[in-house]
Amino acid sequence: KDERMKWWREARFGMFIHWGVYAQLAGVYKDHEQLRGGAEWIMNRSKIPVAEYREYAKQFNPVKFNANDWVKMAKDAGMKYIVITAKHHDGFAMFKSAASSWNIVDATPYGRDILKELAAACKKQGMKLGFYYSQAQDWNNPGGSAARKVMSEGWLNPDSARIDAYTKEHNGHWDPAQETASFADYIDKVSVPQVKELLTNYGDVAVLWWDTPTNMTDDAALKLQNLLKLQPQIITNDRLKRPNFPGDTKTPEQKIPNLSELDGLDWETCMTMNGTWGFRTSDNKWKSKETLIRNLCDIASKGGNYLLNVGPKPDGAFPQQSIESLQAIGNWMKVNSEA
Ligand code: JFZ
């Protein structure tokens, strides 16, 4: 394990990327600002019907996306790896998938496999690439699970009471289309084949970043964990299923542990630059450059890694604030390594 963890322990700094169809909504549904949670949650928070959410993919056309630019921005900031949402909870695959047509190649006018392009750019520039994959929650592919959230966390809808009663009866689901298959079927027909695709079609995969084990079974977790053999060097986190699948790394979220909390295990703090993982037009709560640099120092000094998030805009460009913060961190690194 030490051999496998070597690069990761030296890396200290990585880029998290949350990008998908939700960037298109950017925190607003039918003129209603989302009330709570990250903008990547808008489909669940606002209880958007499956067919309606799918319409947004037809507008997803990130003509400014340039994989080489993204990797260069990460590299210039001093980052050693990138972890991107291959599939977030909305079930949308940012890669060509034979397991579900709800993917960027088959469901958008853009029609390009952005993971392919990112993998090529990372290889060229010597950057490690990992995939975030929401293995359990999937609000689009039938049988996927849905964390229970109430309608009022999206926006105050005149129909909120009825919708909340429905989700209560239906294990967090709000659309009958979500329940035309069992969770076990979803694992076998979507999760397992897609993870296989990710671990087969994109060259070296440095990290598999699981998330939110809602309704996960041991059976499902074992099937997914077994696939990791396809990439013997891969590093994985502790979110496949708790507590029996600890993975390689702990994932404190939005916080930096105190020295007294450290237990000798490898850890990585993931954090947003503002208040959302997915792009949100109205979120201007940007952390200062000084704060980001201090966080990196604090984390590195305690032996952890900093996975700092960027939520690209629907056109494929990074928000200007993120670009400037990344540059500031990179400049600081340069000055302090030449000294
Ligand atoms: C999850 C996602 O739901 C979210 O959209 C984002 O991708 C984030 C990185 O991960 O959210 C979580 C997961 C775990 C905790 C909190 C939020 N946690 O353990 O406190």
Atom 10 of ligand 1, residue of closest alpha carbon: 211
Give the residue ranges of the chain where pLDDT is below 50: none
In short, whether 252's Cβ falls inside 6 Å of ligand 1 is: no
Contact yes or no for 142/134 (Cβ under 8 A): no
Quote the pLDDT of residue 339. Answer: 54
In short, whether 60's Cβ falls inside 6 Å of ligand 1 is: no
Quote the pLDDT of residue 336. Answer: 86
CATH number, domain with residue 149:
3.20.20.80
Quote the pLDDT of residue 122. Answer: 98
Range of the domain at 71: 2-338
In short, whether 277's Cβ falls inside 6 Å of ligand 1 is: yes
Instruction: Report which ligand 1 atom has the smallest distance to the Cα of 309.
Output: 9
Whether residue 243 is preceded by a cis peptide bond, meaning omega within 30 degrees of 0, is: yes
* CA–centroid distance, residue 277 to ligand 1 (Å): 9
Total domain count, the chain: 1
Quote the pLDDT of residue 338. Answer: 66
Residues 245-281: pLDDT tens digits?
A: 999 999 998 899 999 999 999 999 999 999 999 999 9
Give the H/E segment covering residue 14.
Answer: strand 13-17
In short, whether 40's Cβ falls inside 6 Å of ligand 1 is: yes
In short, whether 295's Cβ falls inside 6 Å of ligand 1 is: no
Instruction: Report which ligand 1 atom has the smallest distance to the Cα of 277.
Output: 6
**ipTM confidence:** 0.95
Cα-flanking dihedrals φ and ψ of residue 234, to 5°? -65, 150
Residues 88-107: pLDDT tens digits?
A: 999 999 999 999 999 999 99
Give the H/E segment covering residue 28.
Answer: strand 28-29
Name 29's bridge partners.
32
In short, whether 33's Cβ falls inside 6 Å of ligand 1 is: no
Alpha carbon dihedral 15, 19, 24, 30, in 10-degree steps, equals -100
In short, whether 242's Cβ falls inside 6 Å of ligand 1 is: no
* CA–centroid distance, residue 234 to ligand 1 (Å): 21
Quote the pLDDT of residue 337. Answer: 80
* CA–centroid distance, residue 211 to ligand 1 (Å): 7
Q: Which of 133, 212, 250, 255 to probe ligand 1 with, by most ligand atoms within 8 A of CB?
A: 212
* CA–centroid distance, residue 270 to ligand 1 (Å): 9
